[in-house]
Amino acid sequence: MDTEVKKIVVENLSYTYPLSKIKALDNVSFSIFPGESVGIIGRNGAGKSTLCLALTGLVPSFFGGKRSGRVLIDGTDVLDIPKEKLVRKIGLVLQNPFSQISGAKMTVFEEVAFGLENVGLERDEILEKVEKILRRLDLWSKRDQNPFELSGGQLQRLAIASVLALEPEILVLDEPTSQLDPQGTTEVFEVLSELKKMGITIILVEHKFEKLVEHVDKLIFLHEGKLIGFSTPEEIFSMREIDEYNVGEPIYTSVCKKLNARKPNGKYPVHFEEAVEVLKGALKRHGTNG
C-alpha cells in the first residue's frame, strides 16, 4: 500500500471510550486521497463523531480510552505528530458554534489569530494570514466585532476560519449545520464549495443528505462502529442496509425507491437532476399503463 500518495489511511481502527465496554469503532479501514471530499453517514451512535475525533488524534489522546489500529496522515500516525504540526495538518469543526469560540478574544480578528498565536508564528505572518482567511470567508467586514455578537451561521463561519487560519490540508466537520437555520446552512455549504476548489481534503458528517451528496465524492457508511460501505453516494444509498438500519437518505432517493425507479446502472439516483430524469422515465412507463 502506497501510504505516501494517500492523504489519510485508517487501518483496522478500533476504539473504546473509557468507562465503556462497547466498541465505539470496530476494525474500520479506509483511505482518502488528497483533495477528496468524503461524507460520513450512519445512525446515531454509529461512531461518526468518534471517527472524526480519531482522525485528529483527540481520541484517544484527549478522551482517554483504548485505541487499536492506526490513523495515518501523510504516512505518519496522528499520535506521533507533535501538536504544533498536527493542527497545521488537520482541522476540526464541531456542531455547536457557541462552544467553539475561545471566549478569550474580543474581536473576530483576534479570534481567528488565536490558533496562529498558539503555534508561535511571527506577528507579521499572522496578520497576513488572518486577513487572507477573513476575506475569503467574507468575514473581513466583521473583523472588529465581538464574536459573541455574531449569528449562528456567522459563528460557524468564524469557527471554520479560525481553524483554516492554520492552513490545514484536511478539514473534518462534524454536523456543522445541525444547529443552524437555513441561511446559516447555506453559508456553511458555500464555504465548503470554496474549500473544495482550494484543494482541501474534506471529511463531513452531515444529516442534510440532499446537500451532502452535492458536496462529496464518496461516503463512509458506519453502523455500530463498523464500516458497512465506502463508495460513491449512489452506491451507498442503494445498499439494502440503508433501509434496514433506517439511516435516512436524500428525499428524492426515497421517492425513487418507493417507485422502484432506478438509473440505467441499477442504482437509485441521489442527485436532484438525475432523480427528475429517472422519475420522468418511470412516470412515462406508468402513464402508458394507467
Partner 1 sequence: MAKSSRLTTMIIVLIPVAVGINYAGKFFAEALKLPLWLDSIGTVLAAMLAGPIVGGISGAINNIIYGLTAGPVSFIYALTSIGIGVTAGLLYKAKMFENAFRALISGLIIAIVATVISVPINVIFWEGQTGNVWGDALFAFLRSKNVGIWLASFFDELVVDLVDKVLTVFIAYGIFRALPKSLIYNFRQEQ
Partner 2 sequence: MKTVSLYVDKDTFVHKLEPVTKLWYAFTSVILSFIFPSIWMGLLFLSISVFLSLVARVLKNMVGFVSAVLVVSLTMLVIQGMFYKENATLVFTIGDLKFYKEGLVHATLLIIRIVNMITAFGLLILTTRPSDMVTNLVQKGLSPKLGYILSSVLQIIPQMLSAASTIIDAQRSRGLETEGNFSQKLKAFFALIGPLVLSSLVEARERAVAIEVRGFGATKRPTFVKLIPETRTDRFVKFIMKFVLVIAVVWRVTLWILK
Minimum separation from the CB atom of position 103 to partner 2 (A): 4
3-class secondary-structure state, position 220: strand
Cell of 60: 484517544
Minimum separation from the CB atom of position 163 to partner 2 (A): 7
Please tell me what DSSP assigns to residue 268.
P
3-class secondary-structure state, position 288: helix
Q: For residues 282 and 129, what is the distance between their CA atoms, to the nearest angstrom?
A: 53
Closer Cβ to partner 1, 64 or 75, answer by number: 64
Q: Which does 19 bind (CB under 5 to 8 A by kind): partner 1, partner 2, none?
A: partner 1
| Residue 183 in the binding site for partner 2 (CB under 8 A) | no
Minimum separation from the CB atom of position 61 to partner 1 (A): 4
Q: How many CB atoms lie within 10 A of CB 197?
A: 8
Closer Cβ to partner 1, 18 or 287, answer by number: 18
Helix axes 152-164, 182-197, angle to 10 degrees: 20
Q: Which does 149 bind (CB under 5 to 8 A by kind): partner 2, partner 1, none?
A: partner 2
Contact region with partner 2 (CB under 8 A), list: 26-34, 54-62, 135-143, 229-237:
54-62
- The candidate with the shortest Cα–Cα distance to 179, out of 197, 212, 157, 152, is 152
Could you say which of 16, 37, 100, 177 contacts partner 2 (CB under 8 A)?
A: 100
Residue 152 near residue 181, CB atoms below 8 Å: yes
Please tell me what DSSP assigns to residue 269.
P
Per residue in 232-256, is it b (16+ CB within 10 Å) or e — as a string? bbbbbbbbeebeebebbbbebbbbb
Could you say which of 12, 29, 118, 183 contacts partner 2 (CB under 8 A)?
A: 118
Q: Which does 256 bind (CB under 5 to 8 A by kind): partner 2, partner 1, none?
A: none
Closer Cβ to partner 1, 73 or 192, answer by number: 73
Q: Which does 17 bind (CB under 5 to 8 A by kind): partner 2, partner 1, none?
A: partner 1
Indicate the pairing of strand 90-93 with strand 170-174. parallel
| Residue 274 in the binding site for partner 2 (CB under 8 A) | no
**Which residues are at the interface with partner 2 (CB under 8 A)?**
53, 56, 58, 62, 82-84, 87, 91-92, 94, 96, 98-106, 109-110, 113-123, 126-127, 130, 146, 148-149, 159, 162-163, 166
